[in-house]
Structure 1
Amino acid sequence: MIKNNPILSISFRPFFILAALIAIINPSIWILSYLGKMSIPLAVVDPLFWHGHEMIFGFTGALIAGFILTASANWTNSTPYQGKSLLLLVTCWLLERLSYFIFESEHIQFLIMNLFFPVLSLMLLKKLWSFPKQRNVFMPIIIGISAAKILHSWGYLYSVDYLEDSGREIAIGLIRFIILLIAGRVIPFFTRKKIKGIDINLPNWINPLSLIPVALIAIPWPEAVPRFVLGAILTLALIANVSRQALWKPWVTFKVPILYVLHIGVALINIELLMELIGLFNDQVHYTQAALHLLMTGGLGVVGIGIMTRVSLGHTGRIIRADFWTCLSYSAIVVGSLIRVFVPIFFPDIYIKSLHFASGFWTLGFGIFIIKYFKTLTTQRPDGKPY
């Protein structure tokens, strides 16, 4: 029964559904709580920590697991994790999400809320052990996010502020890094495959130049470090990544929404880098956490939905094309992200009211994905292939 269940035949099927569900549930509950319209029955943590931690690690964790375990099976030309082994990882993810409402002991809460990434790390390591080219790139990132989650949760539960803050900053930095790393691999490949005759020539140095400063941003720099040092790193990261995206020729993808949406997501990350730079010297941008929300709702959310729809179609034997509802999903997520980021900066007087629209559009986008792709993700491939 478990072995032959389509939803457990490959990782993207359950985890893309879970990613969409948490993208709908968490922001909706958080907004209602923030506006005083409901109380969240959390056992140990407060609503602010729950919201932030779950979006950084819960939503992102589902996206990463869905993508990287699917991709690793392709990289290694092996059968993907499925059946009981995949169910184990899904259970770990679900236990973490439920633990906030069950366990009143900080010690138990800490243990349960740090199950998923260590298990994911072990599963990925087993898959990539004999493939150093992929192992040496992705394992440090996944282990790094796992360690950051441990630091963040330990720091919060046991009142060690610098650990809590450091874990958060490392995780955010690594999330930015892995998005740009994957984008650098898939966008040129998808473009060449989809648009006949397109010539995309990338110099060998462009990817390292783009990613090294992004990796440096993931370091939780001490406050004693001069702002101009961080400003210089952010400036290099911004210039290099904007230049790299220009070399990808995004304009040739305007008529291919399922490809162009990835460019939108990367562009939002580039804008986020600019906002990080501005935030070093502008308190309004810094205190609204505009850059963080642009990275998570814009960069991660938009690239995430682009990858989710593409993989859900391509890996189930369907035509890789964004129909009306898929494009509407993209548009809603982009609009929700932009409202959440820019209204607090430019129209602070309507910030509270704007939260309804920001959350509403963003969750609508993922709601459309659930409705549109649920049958695709839970039924057998039409071409009869096992996964």
Structure 2
Amino acid sequence: MTMTWPAKLAPVSRALDILSDEGFRLFFPLAAIHGALWPLLWVVAFGFELPFAKEIPPGVWHVHEMTIGTFGAALVGFITTAVPEWTDTERLRGRVLLVLAALWGVARLIGLVGGEALGILGAVCELLWIAALIAYLVRVSFLKRTTRLVGFIFWISALFIAEAVTRYGFLTIETHAELAGHAAHIAGFIFLGILGIALARITVPVTNLVLDPSEQTSPFRPHPGRMNLAPALVAVLVAGEALGLSEPTTGYLFIAAGAAFMDRVAEAFIGKKIVRAEILALAGTSTFAGLGLMLIGTAQLGWPATRLGGLHLALMGGLGLGILSVFAIAGLRHTGQALGFVRQTRAAMLLLAAAVLLRAVPEIWPTDLLPVAPYALVAVLWAAAFLLWLKVYWPFFRNPRTFEQDGC
């Protein structure tokens, strides 16, 4: 007896029900797959070119896809998972999440091949999912009469503007190529601002859980004035970049924002438990972001190193390790698992750090041993980090028994 189409599609429908039950289940795997495969294909299969990119430089497509693509999916998963918990509201699920994923996914397929002919479609899809995220945050803030989400509303609104300018540059690339590239990089710095306020929300409960697994006390209480220092200075930096201030002026702004991230690293010194992978991952995130921003600043002030090395440390390292840390921590806590990275998760983070260093160090300090970055190896290590994380966490995400296991 042959199976009917409804019977054949039942497992797919069940899987979609599970994955769309909460934002992290759907968007964290999507971000990991995109982050792993898109740069690997760009380097290994396409040879730094894109099949249908004629006017837009492939490098600009690459920056855009990594920020709005990989980090964008991580942002959707984080916001749609964390905000209901912070505000005690009903979470988005089902069709709403699938529509957001479809909008994001259409833009990613266009970006994969540099589909300039479908530029308007890609722009519409991209701006719609970002606008939907802003509308969701505004709606929750209004319903709960809270200002707790204002920081995220500000940064995601800034991301919308940066993406709109980038897409305008894409559509008029003949005359606005420089504008498109500049706006794409500003979007990356905006994500660093989002990272700053996310770390302020994540570091405190994670550190307290490490110090007191019973959750009976809160021994770690950071200085309130330091919690939002990094995103505040990144906001000043983004404003300076958007206004077109001189390179020496923005150079000092880069250094100040980087120093604020380095200040966050000090919070990791909590005694002997600093060796916990969860603490080191969050500290490493701030270290990469801080060093990268400061290197960009010193390069603009005349230090003999390229700005590109600092960009890769800050965006590839700070944001990359940041989202992998969020994936690992939230993935455990929202599926009812105890906090503690297994060996494969720790290995994934080491692979990512190795990829970042191999990519950035030759730009900062080229040597005879490593005169240029080994691009293929970097892409393979980067992809391996995300795919290894996905291998470990996928059974938790697709398991229906973890639906109500929320302990974050």
With structure 2 as the length reference, what TM-score do the two structures score?
0.85
Residues 251 and 25 of structure 1: is their aligned pair in 2 closer, same or farther, counting only changes over 3 Å?
A: farther
Q: How many Å separate the matches in 2 of 1:16 and 1:208? A: 25
Match of 1:286 in 2: 306
Match of 2:82 in 1: 71
Q: How many Å separate the matches in 1 of 2:135 and 2:16? A: 24
**Cα deviation, residue 250, structure 1:** 5.5
Q: How many Å separate the matches in 1 of 2:275 and 2:324? A: 18
Deviations 1:157-204 (A, max 9, x none): 213245424422431221111111111222122112221378444333
Match of 1:12 in 2: 24
Deviations 1:55-114 (A, max 9, x none): 011111111111111000101212211111111111111111123456725434433443
Q: How many Å separate the matches in 2 of 1:347 and 1:162? A: 27
Residues 324 and 235 of structure 1: is their aligned pair in 2 closer, same or farther, counting only changes over 3 Å?
A: same
Match of 1:94 in 2: 105
Given that residues 262 and 291 in structure 2 are in contact (C-alpha distance below 8 angstroms), is that contact kept between their aligned partners in structure 1? no
1:193 to 197, 209, 219: 209
Matched, 1:85 2:96: yes
Q: How many Å separate the matches in 1 of 2:349 and 2:55? A: 35
**Cα deviation, residue 145, structure 1:** 0.6
Correspondences of 1:1-387 after superposition (within 5 Å): 1=13, 5-32=17-44, 35=47, 40-42=51-53, 45-100=56-111, 101=113, 104-131=117-144, 132-159=146-173, 160-161=176-177, 163-196=179-212, 199-219=219-239, 220=241, 225=246, 227=248, 229-249=249-269, 252-282=272-302, 284-287=304-307, 289-347=308-366, 350=370, 354-382=374-402, 385=405
Residues 84 and 355 of structure 1: is their aligned pair in 2 closer, same or farther, counting only changes over 3 Å?
A: same
Q: How many Å separate the matches in 1 of 2:403 and 2:162? A: 41
Q: How many Å separate the matches in 1 of 2:119 and 2:231? A: 37
Q: How many Å separate the matches in 1 of 2:353 and 2:277? A: 13
Given that residues 106 and 122 in structure 2 are in contact (C-alpha distance below 8 angstroms), is that contact kept between their aligned partners in structure 1? no
**Cα deviation, residue 384, structure 1:** 5.3
Q: How many Å separate the matches in 2 of 1:358 and 1:3? A: 33
Q: How many Å separate the matches in 2 of 1:384 and 1:113? A: 31
Deviates more, 1:202-211 or 1:23-32: 202-211
**Cα deviation, residue 386, structure 1:** 8.7
**Cα deviation, residue 128, structure 1:** 3.0
**Cα deviation, residue 296, structure 1:** 1.9
Given that residues 2 and 83 in structure 1 are in contact (C-alpha distance below 8 angstroms), is that contact kept between their aligned partners in structure 2? no
Given that residues 340 and 358 in structure 1 are in contact (C-alpha distance below 8 angstroms), is that contact kept between their aligned partners in structure 2? yes
Q: Secondary structure at 1:80's aligned position in 2? A: coil
Match of 2:8 in 1: none
Residues 66 and 208 of structure 1: is their aligned pair in 2 closer, same or farther, counting only changes over 3 Å?
A: closer
Deviations 1:101-135 (A, max 9, x none): 56725434433443321222223333333343223
**Cα deviation, residue 231, structure 1:** 3.8
Deviations 1:357-381 (A, max 9, x none): 2112111100101211112111213
Residues 282 and 378 of structure 1: is their aligned pair in 2 closer, same or farther, counting only changes over 3 Å?
A: farther
Q: How many Å separate the matches in 1 of 2:358 and 2:379? A: 9
Residues 191 and 122 of structure 1: is their aligned pair in 2 closer, same or farther, counting only changes over 3 Å?
A: same
Q: How many Å separate the matches in 2 of 1:201 and 1:109? A: 44
Deviates more, 1:111-120 or 1:312-321: 111-120
**Cα deviation, residue 34, structure 1:** 6.6
Give the number of equivalent residue pairs: 384
Q: How many Å separate the matches in 1 of 2:73 and 2:32? A: 9
Higher relative contact order (CA 8 A, sep 6+): 1
Gapped regions of structure 2 (runs ≥ 5): 1-12
Residues 135 and 129 of structure 1: is their aligned pair in 2 closer, same or farther, counting only changes over 3 Å?
A: farther
Residues 184 and 386 of structure 1: is their aligned pair in 2 closer, same or farther, counting only changes over 3 Å?
A: closer
Deviates more, 1:209-218 or 1:197-206: 197-206
Q: How many Å separate the matches in 1 of 2:334 and 2:257? A: 33
Report the residue type matching 1:192 in the other structure: N
Q: How many Å separate the matches in 1 of 2:404 and 2:124? A: 41
Gapped regions of structure 1 (runs ≥ 5): none
Q: How many Å separate the matches in 2 of 1:344 and 1:34? A: 23
With structure 1 as the length reference, what TM-score do the two structures score?
0.89
Given that residues 333 and 406 in structure 2 are in contact (C-alpha distance below 8 angstroms), is that contact kept between their aligned partners in structure 1? no
**Cα deviation, residue 223, structure 1:** 5.2
Given that residues 60 and 184 in structure 2 are in contact (C-alpha distance below 8 angstroms), is that contact kept between their aligned partners in structure 1? no
Report % sequence identity: 20
**Cα deviation, residue 139, structure 1:** 0.8
**Cα deviation, residue 383, structure 1:** 7.7
Given that residues 285 and 345 in structure 1 are in contact (C-alpha distance below 8 angstroms), is that contact kept between their aligned partners in structure 2? yes
Deviations 1:269-315 (A, max 9, x none): 1111221221113475335x112111222101111111101111110
Q: How many Å separate the matches in 2 of 1:135 and 1:246? A: 26
Deviations 1:329-367 (A, max 9, x none): 111001111111102332366455611221121111001
Q: Secondary structure at 1:133's aligned position in 2? A: coil
